[in-house]
Amino acid sequence: MTAETMIQTTGLTKDFGRLRAVDGLNIEVKRGEAYGFLGPNGAGKSTTIRMLTGFLRPNIGSIEIMGKDMLRNPLAVKEKVGIVPDQFGFYPLMNSREHLDFYGRLYGMEKKRLLARTDEVLGLVGLTDRAKSRVGDYSHGMKQRLAIAQALLNEPEILFLDEPTTGLDPQGQYDTRQLIRKLHAGGLTIFVSSHLLNEVDDICTHVGIVKSGRLVAQDSIANLQGQLSKAKGVLVSVSVCRPGELWPIVKGVQGVVGVDPTGPNAFVVHLDRREAIPELARVVASSELGLWNFNEMQLSLEQVFLEMTGGAR
């Protein structure tokens, strides 16, 4: 089954003077994905999302969003997407409802639909109670929620969020992620840029990793973990009851390729096949060191990320 392509860039490139900030990106996001756009600071994430949302024009390359050419017809695209920029501001003297009314009119929404939709999105982001107080009196978290509300006003098919939890307190971060997950569960395609790995791990199904303006990986998170596991082999974390040398004990087991001690009685055992795990467990358990703890290690997104972006510098 091939889902509809929602975002497609071809050779997307942006220069700032002599600096090439984004270099030939080919991004592809399909309907229903929650796509995390990951990269270290300065990798070109913001530049990319600004091009995707029409704030910046690329020097080279094309952007198609829902089959429409973003560069030629940005208004038709903006009508169908919601955008939460990394930096945004409101008019301090206006309240939430006035803001949403203003933005809704700019979407050309019909009055009745706009009123109904305003109530809906205010409820969705939990601002109904404060909808009539001036935005100048809002906390950062409330402004962030209003920013999401205004992006949802037009019932978009794609929601772009640029670093959506930056500057929020833990509760605010949690609420925002919950909200994004809920929206994704409702079928919305999400494109979120972030440098927070746990955030992307938490929210996203797919990930694109960018490094120095180039896309180094793009796939579902599960696939990336699988690929990396294949390349790196199977890792098993083993703890024993008594300190000692594990290598002489396990080196005879078929498939074991190495042991890294990580503590006086803790080790990581490298295997070249998963089938070797039961035999490894049996051998360690019956040795004089005794088996305390034994489990296969899952690669975290962090390891994937560090691996893809060239590891710890």
Residue 165 near residue 173 (C-beta atoms within 8 A): yes
- Tell me how far apart the alpha carbons of residues 234 and 215 are, in angstroms, rounded to a whole number: 27
Q: Examine residue 292 and tell whether it contacts another protein (CB under 8 A).
A: no
Window 102-131: contact mask with another protein (x via CB under 8 A): xx-xxxx-----------------------
- Tell me how far apart the alpha carbons of residues 62 and 78 are, in angstroms, rounded to a whole number: 16
Q: Examine residue 68 and tell whether it contacts another protein (CB under 8 A).
A: no
Return the range that interacts with another protein (CB under 8 A); candidates 82-90, 177-185, 200-208, 241-249. 82-90
Return the range that interacts with another protein (CB under 8 A); candidates 21-29, 68-76, 230-238, 275-283. 68-76
Window 231-250: contact mask with another protein (x via CB under 8 A): --------------------
Residues 6 or more apart from 289 whose CB is under 8 A from it? Answer: 240, 241, 242, 243, 244, 246, 249, 265
Quick one: tokens of 19? 């600096």
Q: Examine residue 186 and tell whether it contacts another protein (CB under 8 A).
A: no
Quick one: tokens of 204? 């996203």
In whole angstroms, the minimum distance from the beta carbon of 151 to another protein comes to: 8
Measured from the CB atom, the residue of 111 and 273 that comes closer to another protein is 111
Residues 6 or more apart from 119 whose CB is under 8 A from it? Answer: 128
Name the residue with tokens 């995707």. 52
Per CB under 8 A, the list member of 36, 39, 44, 85 interacting with another protein is: 85
Quote the longest CA-to-CA distance of the chain: 78
Q: Examine residue 50 and tell whether it contacts another protein (CB under 8 A).
A: yes
Q: Examine residue 60 and tell whether it contacts another protein (CB under 8 A).
A: no
Residue 13 near residue 23 (C-beta atoms within 8 A): yes
Residue 268 near residue 224 (C-beta atoms within 8 A): no
In whole angstroms, the minimum distance from the beta carbon of 109 to another protein comes to: 9
Q: Which residues pair with 64 in a beta bridge?
A: 8, 69
- Tell me how far apart the alpha carbons of residues 244 and 249 are, in angstroms, rounded to a whole number: 10
183-188-194-198 Cα dihedral, nearest 10 degrees: 50
Quick one: tokens of 7? 């975002």
Per CB under 8 A, the list member of 1, 18, 19, 89 interacting with another protein is: 89
Residues between 135 and 174 with contacts to another protein, criterion CB under 8 A? 147, 150-151
Measured from the CB atom, the residue of 67 and 310 that comes closer to another protein is 67
Q: Examine residue 87 and tell whether it contacts another protein (CB under 8 A).
A: yes
Per CB under 8 A, the list member of 76, 241, 257, 297 interacting with another protein is: 76
Measured from the CB atom, the residue of 138 and 305 that comes closer to another protein is 138
Could you list the residues that contact another protein (CB under 8 A)? 50, 53-56, 74-76, 78-79, 83, 85, 87-91, 93-94, 98, 102-103, 105-108, 147, 150-151
